[in-house]
Amino acid sequence: MPLYMMLCTDKPGALELRKATREAHLAYVAETGCVVQAGPLLDEAGEMAGSLIVLDLPDMEAAKAWGAQDPYALAGLFESVRLQEWKKVIG
């Protein structure tokens, strides 16, 4: 299956919303089983300010659907989301 990269930027001042929704987000990641790699983006202060997620799904529509149901997205955490097919070359 192809891989898809989601690059998500949090809305300014949304750290508390991220923290409040983190447990549900991590449960969703575990339950769906399609996340290859993921982790938070950090701001200059070292605080979580976004997400980088690599998904292993059959097509772009499935990746969009996964992203739309992520508890972070449902909570309105993100200011922007970039979703693009990604090809693993190293690692």
Q: Considering the chain, what percentage of its residues have pLDDT values greater than 70? A: 100
Q: What is the topology classification, in CATH, of domain 3-86?
A: Alpha-Beta Plaits (3.30.70)
pLDDT tens-digit series, residues 25-66: 999 999 999 999 999 999 999 999 999 999 999 999 999 999
Asked if 19 contacts 80 with a C-beta cutoff of 8 angstroms, the reply is no
**Confidence check: pLDDT of 91 > 90:** no
Domain spans in the chain, listed from the N-terminal domain onward: 3-86
How confident is the model over 12-21, as a mean pLDDT? Answer: 97
Q: Considering the chain, what percentage of its residues have pLDDT values greater than 90? A: 98
* Chain-centroid distance, C-alpha 44: 20
pLDDT on residue 33? 97
pLDDT on residue 1? 78
